Amino acid sequence: MAANVTVTQRKNESAERLIRRFIKKCKKEKVVERYLDKRFYEKPSTKRRRDKLKKKRNAKKAEALRNPQTGER
């Protein structure tokens, strides 16, 4: 999966603005996150466990936001 993020300079656009757009695009495409995930080998079972815990945490947060009285926040 190639992560070729390209940004062309618009008319009258400063270099700072161009760099800011590039960084934004990289974050949206999750270039850095994918690189960090691929640095070391991770067993499929470990990956599944991590994803399962992440889903559980997100569900708990969503529930706490839906029910502020009963939620633990």
* Residue extents of the structural domains in the chain: 1-40, 42-73
Question: Alpha helix (H) ranges present in the chain?
Answer: 15-29, 31-38, 44-66
Residue with tokens 């889903």: 55
The token pair at 33 is 């996150």
Is the pTM value of this prediction over 0.75? no
Terminal CA-CA length for the chain = 39
Give the C-alpha separation, 21 to 28, whole Å.
Answer: 10
CB of 41 within 8 A of CB of 24?
no
Q: Nearest 5 degrees, angle CA 6-CA 10-CA 11?
A: 160
Per residue in 19-70, pLDDT (tens digit) is 999 999 999 999 998 999 899 999 999 999 999 999 999 999 999 999 887 6
